Amino acid sequence: MNKADLPNVLYKIIEDLGGSAPMIVIFRSFWKLHGKDLNENDDLFYTWNYDIRWAATELRKQGRMKAAHRTKKCNERDDSSKSGIWEIIKETEFA
């Protein structure tokens, strides 16, 4: 696996989670499904968390993912357990 694979991997993970999920759930799913595929001799082993966020940006640029939804209002204190919700745009919606 390499960084270029991540947008499609991320899309599939979110799709399998019902089309949307909190970031932390997505990250846990990624690690559970693909952590064993990461080689500690490759940078991706150490940067995957950042690279998943990059992949989300790429999906947004492609029109395959909606902007992140916040679970709290902007003026409320953020709770790290309530991170943003990531939601894909179904293939039929952007095709």
Q: Which of 59, 58, 37 is nearest to 48 (CA)?
A: 37
For each of the domains in the chain, give its residue range(s) and CATH number, in order of start.
3-94 (1.10.10)
| Residue 72 banded pLDDT, cuts 50, 70, 90 | low
Long-range CB contacts (< 8 A, 24+ apart) of 70-77? 71/22
pLDDT at 64: 96
| Residue 79 banded pLDDT, cuts 50, 70, 90 | very low
12-26, pLDDT tens digit by residue?
Answer: 999 999 999 999 999
26-71, pLDDT tens digit by residue?
Answer: 999 999 999 998 888 888 888 899 999 999 999 999 999 998 766 5
Token output for 57:
């940006």
Residue 2: is it exposed, middle or buried by C-beta count within 10 angstroms (0-12/13-18/19+)?
Answer: exposed
What are residue 21's DSSP bridge partners? 86
